[in-house]
């Protein structure tokens, strides 16, 4: 069957199965276009956790990476959470584990631990409050000013938040293997090529990149800004999957990727075939064991309350 026919067939089978299974499909903006199209909700990490916490469905099919499915299971422990490819991980989330976090906490006693949602459930369990790229500035600004802050694991997001809040934070040396690829030279070249375009970048980019951007925002913030702006051209400094919602929501506007390297191989591991098979088999499942879940849920709930 030609690819397009296969996509049509699988999409219609997925829609039928979704009803039979009482399932909801949640997808991140970095997912393949055809996966975004079968989803009930497409969003950024914050929107996805809010949806996962509020859904009535019995099954959540999470089209994203492992830590996102874990967060869904933490927030909705009675639901079946399925991640269509169990190997879709996040290299940044794997840059810190619970042992390393506990060791670091001993070096900075009394520090408030803020973890980016791009962390494992165990790291969340050892943290005080989580944040996403959409609410990190708000979360950090809400913390008492007389205590040190330990921020894990993204040094780039941490440095951006620190510049916005004026809070001096102790930073873990992690980074996103995709966003950290974008160099200042590439952004300057793209600007020279498209002098009318505004530069919209994600805060996971390097500080020298965020410093020259017109807008620094989460994926949903980038999409909202492009849709509402009177500008017609934009240079995009986040994962290439956002081109799908950008082109859908902003017909007639032009989007140029700041680099060919803005591609997350893990996000692209989820295919329609795997979504279909996940709905048939309700596997591979992601769940978080009791004691870790009990501690991690407080960290996520504090974030949702502060947002």
Interface positions with ligand SF4 (CB under 6 A): 65, 90-92, 118, 176-179, 239, 264, 266-267
Least Cβ distance, residue 291 to ligand SF4 (angstroms): 26
Binds 266: which of ligand 13P, ligand SF4, none (CB < 5-8 Å by kind) = ligand SF4
Residue 241 tokens read as 């999957």
45 binds ligand 13P (CB under 6 A): yes
What does 132 bind: ligand SF4, ligand 13P, none (CB cut-off 5 to 8 Å by kind)? Answer: ligand 13P
Neighbour order of strands in the sheet with 59-63: 41-43, 23-28, 59-63, 80-82
Region 216-235 residues binding ligand 13P, contact defined as CB under 6 A: 218-219
Interaction mask 119-158, ligand 13P, x per CB under 6 A: -------------xx-------------------------
Least distance CB 139 / ligand 13P (angstroms): 13
9 touches 203 (CB < 8 A): no
Query: Site residues for ligand 13P, window 25-44 (CB under 6 A)?
Result: 44
Axis-axis angle for helices 66-75, 290-306 (nearest 10): 90
Closer residue to ligand SF4 in complex, CB, 92/272 = 92
CB-based closest residue to ligand 13P: 44
CA distances from 120 to 67, 75, 267, 288, 302 (A): 6, 14, 16, 10, 17
Q: How far is the CB of 271 from ligand 13P (least distance, A)?
A: 18
Q: Which does 177 bind (CB under 5 to 8 A by kind): ligand SF4, ligand 13P, none?
A: ligand SF4
Max CA pair span of the chain: 63
- Look up residue 261 and give its two tokens: 């390297």
Compose the 77-96 pattern: x for residues touching ligand 13P by CB under 6 A, - for all others.
-------------x------
Name the strand (E) or helix (H) holding 75.
helix 66-75
Q: Which does 133 bind (CB under 5 to 8 A by kind): ligand SF4, ligand 13P, none?
A: ligand 13P
For ligand SF4, give the closer residue by CB, 270 or 279. 270
CA–CA distance, 86 with 188 (Å, rounded to integer)? 38
Residues 117 and 299: their CA atoms lie apart, in Å, by 10
Count the residues in the chain: 307
β-pairing verdict for 112-116 and 149-152: parallel
Pair 39, 27: CB distance under 8 Å: yes
Q: Which residues in this chain contact ligand 13P in the complex, by CB under 6 A?
A: 44-45, 90, 118, 132-133, 176, 204, 218-219
């Amino acid at each position: 069957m030609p690819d397009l026919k296969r996509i049509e067939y699988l999409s219609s089978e997925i829609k039928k199965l979704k009803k039979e299974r009482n399932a909801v499909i949640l997808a991140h903006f970095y997912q393949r276009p055809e996966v975004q199209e079968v989803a009930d909700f497409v969003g950024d990490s914050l929107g996805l956790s809010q949806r996962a916490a509020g859904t009535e469905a019995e099954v959540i099919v999470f089209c994203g990476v492992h830590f996102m499915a874990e967060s869904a299971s933490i927030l909705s422990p009675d639901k079946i959470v399925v991640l269509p490819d169990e190997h879709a991980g996040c290299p940044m989330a794997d840059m810190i584990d619970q042992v390393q976090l506990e060791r670091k906490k001993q070096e900075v006693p009394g520090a408030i631990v803020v973890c980016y949602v791009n962390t494992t459930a165990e790291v969340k369990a050892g943290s005080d409050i989580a944040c996403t790229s959409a609410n990190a500035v708000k979360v950090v600004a809400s913390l008492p000013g007389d205590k040190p802050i330990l921020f894990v694991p993204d040094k780039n997001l941490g440095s951006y938040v620190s510049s916005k809040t004026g809070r001096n934070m102790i930073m873990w040396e992690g980074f996103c293997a995709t966003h950290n690829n974008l160099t200042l030279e590439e952004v300057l070249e793209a600007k020279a090529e498209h002098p009318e375009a505004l530069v919209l970048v994600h805060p996971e980019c390097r500080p020298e990149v965020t410093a020259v951007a017109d807008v620094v925002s989460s994926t949903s913030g980038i999409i909202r800004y492009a849709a509402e702006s009177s500008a017609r051209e934009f240079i995009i400094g986040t994962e290439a999957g956002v081109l799908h919602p950008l082109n859908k929501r902003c017909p007639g506007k032009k989007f140029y990727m700041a680099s060919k390297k803005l591609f997350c191989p893990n996000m692209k591991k989820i295919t329609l075939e795997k979504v279909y098979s996940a709905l048939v088999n309700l596997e591979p499942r992601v769940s978080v064991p009791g004691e870790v879940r009990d501690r991690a849920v407080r960290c996520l709930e504090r974030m949702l309350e502060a947002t």
